[in-house]
């Protein structure tokens, strides 16, 4: 499917604004508009808080962000955005558009949760809302609140002042599985876009340009097929697919010694057979193969192929499938856009934390065995990227794919507690509390102000594209890691969500009855262990 933004724009009838040229705003006018959006976003703090809390309560896993997407797109429709669903064949993929003409500013943020991260917000120790259920153990419940608040407030001003420009909102579906953005790019979603601003939860308030530390990856599942037999009576009649899985893992663990230190290769075994007395006919192992640059990712991808075929030969089974489940290109962020964003971050400043916020943060940090450093109180310096030879590796994010087809930055806003292990219940603790709410409001301000910069300044757009053309992509061009026939694995997590959703539904946030989710759950903020002040753990 080729989804062109122009076809979305053609469907619009909401605006009569001129598409010609850019808004010519004096610096004073731009400055006063920034003050105005900042005030207007403060006035919408309750709306922001409700979105943060609502998506937190849904706690949906990758590809199953059904309630989340329905809720968010309903809000956007109600505010006059035109919504297209099922983008790139993703049931939870959508695009919402409002406005006319240039610039087209596409703002995105992730929406999926983490397995087994269910956690009562505001409680500084592991205390799930629903035992073993998924939850927002990274904080992806807050980014769309940032973007939607910014978009709604900015739209009002654009309408009133007849400012040309198009706001496009989109979700990072299944970011934890690197499962959507490469497909959005493949399907041309960003073809007519002038700039992408992505927002991501963090504990600091920051942005960066160049290549951040971290990796790109291919996520791939190898499935082997053998033959069953009675595992005690006639094991020689069978061929174990699980043997191939184990041989492949052993091979990778030997191969590690000869890989660069910055690689990351890790796996889980989604299918290791049925029961011990049946020789496993089918088994599969799922790998993330990560490296810091394209050539090394491709090399890991190729090594995986060889090792998987060799493992099949050794076990006397067939390698029946090598399915790409996700991919992420290493990121590179745009310098002029990051500089504009950074100035706005400084202007907004950190939220004011209360002693309750700091008490919660310190107690969680102690609980997970970290340094009790509380919350960040100053905005971060602008990130200037890392020399490729000095990149130590680390996580990946499929915003990388987007960043190589259109000038892109990530706004990191301060809604979480620093110093936590990540992908863990502890990263959910703050995510439906005043820490998350205030961080999202601050993020929305920086987002809206930077969008105003893009609307007001064709020169900023030009310099962003000049950097993209002449610096970023001068020697390196994007080549998708997904193949033309790869489809997003939209059935993933269906079974887990089917198991937990009925119980989780009982805890969905009801803003018509409760001011906050904390209030609905009857949680005293903050709830900390009586002895959390010094117990060695
Ligand atoms: Zn994330």
pLDDT in tens, 162-174: 999 999 999 999 9
pLDDT in tens, 233-276: 999 999 999 999 999 999 999 999 999 999 999 999 999 999 99
Ligand 1 centroid from CA 434, angstroms: 20
- Listed in sequence order, the residues at least 6 apart from 96 whose beta carbon sits closer than 8 Å to its beta carbon are 73, 76, 77, 81, 82, 83, 84, 168, 169, 170
Rounded to the nearest 5 degrees, what angle is found at the Cα of 129, between the Cα atoms of 128 and 130? 85
Ligand 1 centroid from CA 175, angstroms: 7
Residue 75: per-residue pLDDT: 98
Residue 22: per-residue pLDDT: 56
Ligand 1 centroid from CA 327, angstroms: 15
**Strand-pair category, 104-110 with 195-202:** parallel
pLDDT at 407 over 60: yes
pLDDT at 20 over 70: no
pLDDT, the chain, mean: 94
Ligand 1 centroid from CA 172, angstroms: 9
pLDDT in tens, 419-431: 999 999 999 999 9
Residue 1: per-residue pLDDT: 44
Residue 13: per-residue pLDDT: 35
* Dist CA 133 CA 503 (whole Å): 9
Overall average pLDDT of the 429-442 stretch: 98
Overall average pLDDT of the 79-105 stretch: 97
Residue 4: per-residue pLDDT: 52
Ligand 1 centroid from CA 138, angstroms: 6
Residues lining ion ligand 1 (Cβ < 5 A) are 138
Rounded to the nearest 5 degrees, what angle is found at the Cα of 443, between the Cα atoms of 473 and 375? 110
Residue 21: per-residue pLDDT: 47
- Listed in sequence order, the residues at least 6 apart from 288 whose beta carbon sits closer than 8 Å to its beta carbon are 217, 218, 219, 264, 265, 266, 267, 396
Ligand 1 centroid from CA 174, angstroms: 10
Q: Where are the alpha helices (DSSP H) in 178-329?
A: 181-186, 241-255, 294-315
Ligand 1 centroid from CA 280, angstroms: 36
> How confident is residue 55, by pLDDT bands cut at 50, 70 and 90?
very high
Ligand 1 centroid from CA 250, angstroms: 30
pLDDT in tens, 131-140: 999 999 999 9
pLDDT at 23 over 70: no
Rounded to the nearest 5 degrees, what angle is found at the Cα of 198, between the Cα atoms of 163 and 323? 135
Name beta bridge partners: 383: 208
pLDDT at 115 over 50: yes
Ligand 1 centroid from CA 401, angstroms: 15
* Dist CA 163 CA 23 (whole Å): 6
What proportion of the chain, given as a percentage, has pLDDT over 90?
Answer: 93
> How confident is residue 533, by pLDDT bands cut at 50, 70 and 90?
low
Ligand 1 centroid from CA 146, angstroms: 14
* Dist CA 336 CA 502 (whole Å): 47
This prediction has a pTM of 0.93
Residue 24: per-residue pLDDT: 72
pLDDT at 532 over 60: no
């Amino acid at each position: 499917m080729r989804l062109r933004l122009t076809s979305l724009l053609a469907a619009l009838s909401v605006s009569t604004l001129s598409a010609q040229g850019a808004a010519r705003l004096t610096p004073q006018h731009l400055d006063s508009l920034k003050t105005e959006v900042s005030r207007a976003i403060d006035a919408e703090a309750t709306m922001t808080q409700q979105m943060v809390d609502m998506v937190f309560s849904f706690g949906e896993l990758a590809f199953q962000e059904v309630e989340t997407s329905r809720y968010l797109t309903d809000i956007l429709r109600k505010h006059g955005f035109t919504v297209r669903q099922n983008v790139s064949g993703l049931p939870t993929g959508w695009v919402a558009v409002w406005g006319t003409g240039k610039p087209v500013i596409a703002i995105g943020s992730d929406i999926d949760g983490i397995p087994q991260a269910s956690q009562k917000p505001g409680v500084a120790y592991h205390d799930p809302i629903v035992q073993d259920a998924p939850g927002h153990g990274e904080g992806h419940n807050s980014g769309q609140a940032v973007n939607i608040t910014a978009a709604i407030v900015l739209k009002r001003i654009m309408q009133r002042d007849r400012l040309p420009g198009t706001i496009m909102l989109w979700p990072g579906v299944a970011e934890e599985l690197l499962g959507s953005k490469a497909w959005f790019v493949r399907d041309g979603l960003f073809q007519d876009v002038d700039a992408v601003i992505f927002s991501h939860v963090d504990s600091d308030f920051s942005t960066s340009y160049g290549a951040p530390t971290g990796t790109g990856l291919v996520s791939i599942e190898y499935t082997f097929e053998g033959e069953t037999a009675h595992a005690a009576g006639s094991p020689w009649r069978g061929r174990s697919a699980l043997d191939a899985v184990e041989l492949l893992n052993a091979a990778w663990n030997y191969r590690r010694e000869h890989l660069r230190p910055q690689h990351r290769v890790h796996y889980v075994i989604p299918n290791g057979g049925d029961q011990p007395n049946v020789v496993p006919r089918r088994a599969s192992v799922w790998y993330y193969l990560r490296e810091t640059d394209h050539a090394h990712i491709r090399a890991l991808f190729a090594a995986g192929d060889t090792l998987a075929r060799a493992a099949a030969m050794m076990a006397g089974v067939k390698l029946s499938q090598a399915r790409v489940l996700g991919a992420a290109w290493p990121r590179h962020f745009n310098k002029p856009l990051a500089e504009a964003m950074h100035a706005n971050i400084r202007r907004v400043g950190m939220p004011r934390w209360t002693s309750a916020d700091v008490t919660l943060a310190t107690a969680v940090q102690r609980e997970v065995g970290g340094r009790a450093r509380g919350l960040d109180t100053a905005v971060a310096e602008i990130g200037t990227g890392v020399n490729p030879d000095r990149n130590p590796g680390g996580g990946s994010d499929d915003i990388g794919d987007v960043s190589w087809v259109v000038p892109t930055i990530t706004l990191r806003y301060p809604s979480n507690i620093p110093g936590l292990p990540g992908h863990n219940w502890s990263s959910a603790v703050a995510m439906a509390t005043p820490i998350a709410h205030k961080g999202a409001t601050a993020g929305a301000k920086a987002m809206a102000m930077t969008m105003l910069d893009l609307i007001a300044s064709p020169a900023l757009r030009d310099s962003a594209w000049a950097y993209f053309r002449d610096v970023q992509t001068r020697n390196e061009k994007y080549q998708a890691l997904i193949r033309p026939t790869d489809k997003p694995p939209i059935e993933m997590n269906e079974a887990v969500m089917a198991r937990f959703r009925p119980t989780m539904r009982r805890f969905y946030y009801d803003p018509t009855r409760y001011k906050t989710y904390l209030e609905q759950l009857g949680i005293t903020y903050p709830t900390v262990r009586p002895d959390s002040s010094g117990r060695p753990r």
